[in-house]
Amino acid sequence: MRRLLFVLLLVCPFLSFNAQNQPWQGKFEPIDNLISPPNSYRTASGAPGKAYWQQRADYKIKVTLDEKNNMILGEEMITYHNNSPEDLSYLWLQLEQNVNKKGNEDFGSINNNVKDGITSRQMQFLTRAMDFPAGYSIKYVKDGEGNNLKTLVNNTMMKVKLNNSLNSGESATLSIAWSYPITDRSLFLLSREGYEYFPEDDNTVYLIAHWFPRMAVYNDTEGWQNQQFQKLGEFALEFGDYDVEITVPEDHVVASTGTLLNSESVLTKTQLNRLKKAEKSFDKPVMVITKDEAVDNEKRKSKKLKTWKFKAENVRDFAFASSRKFLWDAQTVKLPTNTVMAMSFYPKEGLPVWQEESTNAIKQALEVYSEATFDYPYPVCISVNTSNIGMEFPMISFNGGRPVNGKISNAAKQSMVGTIIHEVGHNWFPMIVSSDERKWMWMDEGLNTFLHQRTVAERYPDYSSVTPKTIVPFMNGDKSILRPIMTTSDNELFNQFGMNFYIKPTVGLQMLRNSIIGKELFDEAFKEYANRWKYKHPNPADLFRTLEDATATDLDWFYRGWFFTTDNVDMELNNVKWFKVFEENTNIEDKNNSSAVKIAANEKGATEAQKDFSNGPEVINMMDTPDNAYGQFLSRIDEKEIRKELSGKNIYEVTIKNVGGLVMPVTIEWIFTDGTKEIDQLPAQIWRRNEYEIKKTFIKEKEVSKVNLDPNFEFADTNMSNNTFPKVQTKSDFERFKDNKSNP
């Protein structure tokens, strides 16, 4: 071995230079230096370790919705369990409503272009010309004994200094009273909650979310996750149980996270009977509140109040919607291990499409996601209609999409159904597989979009869905402004985060499933990841390691290129040489041999670029293997048999160049002169020894008329015009090829 290394260094002295002076970062090197190392909390297999821990926060909340003043007033008691090995002298809580305060550090920075012809609403986003009150007013924060606790508020985070240290393994109780003005959703870009006003009937739909002071995550990888909320990066939250009492106007209907505990007190006998009927309806929704009843309800404007009581177990958040405008339908969905009530709440403005599609979309999502990961574990799954939004919370989501005068285009309907599926899907990622949205948006949006698109493809085959072709324009963009997927949530360019955090991870997972690992093995691995990290807090390294651990597949090359770089796929089919072998006993060293002269001429001609196969094959004259070529081996191969097996066969040498920089498996389509086709697939490892150019030899019985790379467009190749041989000569030729071959 030492002698071989010495010879290599003599032949290739640059190897020694690289080893001594440069960290080798080839495309197939491990990504160990790019991800956090394994430890007793998170194992090298990608699973939680024996020492894994996470905190817990249980909530008891009483809240009142003041419709007259558009205010939320609440009191909560938090029981915080310190399961960490550290003692804590202070706690951090999230105050997301403060993001709406004027002067907030993020105000106006998401999209701040002033231009000629700007709309009044866009100027409102930028300048807040029409001011409004926003943000928390904290009345008190007390400990379990009723003693006041000192607090420090830094924008959207509140630090609570404990009177006594919270030791490892112990729990502490906080009591907090607060209020805040509910904001008009139409005044904000990226509005995730607030109210929507309907002037025609002078009513309001309230979406109440990140409405109470919530415990921030404290974990083993970064301690307190106390990054400020800046609208793009969402939330990192602890699991716990919730007891919530929601007091609203008497004629309001409340849709909420959790199980309704006092249905007899808040619903009429007719509504109760309909709800019980829905519990046995598996084939279609039952109207709990009809259009006529909702329209009549809009006129009441009751001054009295009513309290709805809900309980939710093992959730990481809690949200609700309230309005007198709601129609309500419900249907039961039977899963292998759970029965779920799927329900939709919507104003009359959502008819007819919401009554026709919303609850059915919930059902489709519940079934596909459950099959792909684990059965949906909660008792209800709710979709609430509002405008210009898609936002998720445990058991409930707020979803946009409405007809205009009762009519909706097919494209708008597809978008609406897709939004509902997507937001329902967030129950799995990140509401149960609870990744850190504020740091790694792609871990919830990308994984969820992957299953969302799978649901659309399987249950709505006539709808458009994401494929590798979708990402091509983005991947082919300006590398000076593109950023890798592994960019933290709030640092992505606003006009790129959709592609980078939603679509690119989705396409990457589609490639792994359909073309690199295979569906059966990938599906097992993806399910393994979901179940390993159910009700826990995974990081990117945990996902990467689990997919490798559960498939026995080296994927570091894929992670490195797809997640950590902005390289794109552009494989060029540079050349295809055609050879034939004839069984004859000649000697290449015999210069007088006519065959040898002919071969020499062909080889000289072969140095020129080949345009097609019209000149016929080059002829190979095979020599007998000299004895010294065997080294110390005494056995000999059967020379005549080899020549016989190859005689008359077509041998094709393919040269492929990596132009885009991103290595991928190679799929080669052979089209023969008789019109038949054949596919050869080469793994990405074909690029290991040369990341820029590869040659591969194939034997074919038939003569080839055309060769194509990536014929089914599996790998998001950004330039299909260089994927065929003979070379595409005209744009129309390429367009025909693209139309025929780029749609899987």
Annotate 150-182 with DSSP letters as a single string. Answer: EEEEETTEEEEEEEEEE-TT-EEEEEEEEEEEP
> What is the domain partition of the chain in residue ranges?
191-210+248-433, 571-625+636-741
Q: Which of 698, 691, 634 is nearest to 672 (CA)?
A: 698
Q: What is the pLDDT of residue 743?
A: 40
Give tens-digit pLDDT for 578-590.
Answer: 999 876 544 444 4
How many Å apart are CA 430 and CA 707, to the nearest integer? 44
How many Å apart are CA 434 and CA 302, to the nearest integer? 40
pLDDT band at 446 (very low <50, low <70, confident <90, very high): very high
- Higher-confidence position of 657 and 17: 657
- Higher-confidence position of 491 and 180: 180
How is domain 191-210+248-433 classified at the CATH fold level?
A: Zincin-like (3.30.2010)
Q: Is residue 12 pLDDT above 80, yes or no?
A: no
Checking 682-690 for CB contacts under 8 A at 24+ apart, the result is 684/516, 684/557, 684/558, 685/28, 685/554, 685/557, 687/27, 687/28, 687/658, 687/663, 688/28
pLDDT band at 231 (very low <50, low <70, confident <90, very high): confident
Task: Write a three-state SS string for 58-82.
Answer: EEEEEEEEECCCCEEEEEEEEEEEC
Dig out the tokens for 689 from the structure: 């020894």
Mean residue pLDDT of the chain comes to 90
Scan for tokens 């003569």, then name that residue.
703
Q: Is residue 386 pLDDT above 80, yes or no?
A: yes
Q: Which residues pair with 515 in a beta bridge?
A: none
Q: Is residue 593 pLDDT above 90, yes or no?
A: no
Give tens-digit pLDDT for 273-311.
Answer: 999 999 999 999 999 999 999 999 999 899 999 999 999
Give tens-digit pLDDT for 398-420.
Answer: 999 999 999 999 999 999 999 99
Q: H or E element: which one contains 93?
A: strand 88-94
Q: What is the pLDDT of residue 116?
A: 86
Dig out the tokens for 372 from the structure: 């792909």
Scan for tokens 């006594």, then name that residue.
164
* Overall average pLDDT of the 199-206 stretch: 97
Contact 515, 555 (CB under 8 A): no
DSSP assigned state of 251: T
The angle subtended at Cα 712 by Cα 709 and Cα 718, nearest 5°, is: 65
Q: What is the pLDDT of residue 192?
A: 85
- Higher-confidence position of 563 and 187: 563
Q: What is the pLDDT of residue 735?
A: 52
Give tens-digit pLDDT for 638-670.
Answer: 998 998 899 889 999 999 999 999 999 999 999
Q: What is the pLDDT of residue 583?
A: 61
Give tens-digit pLDDT for 517-538.
Answer: 999 999 999 999 999 999 999 9
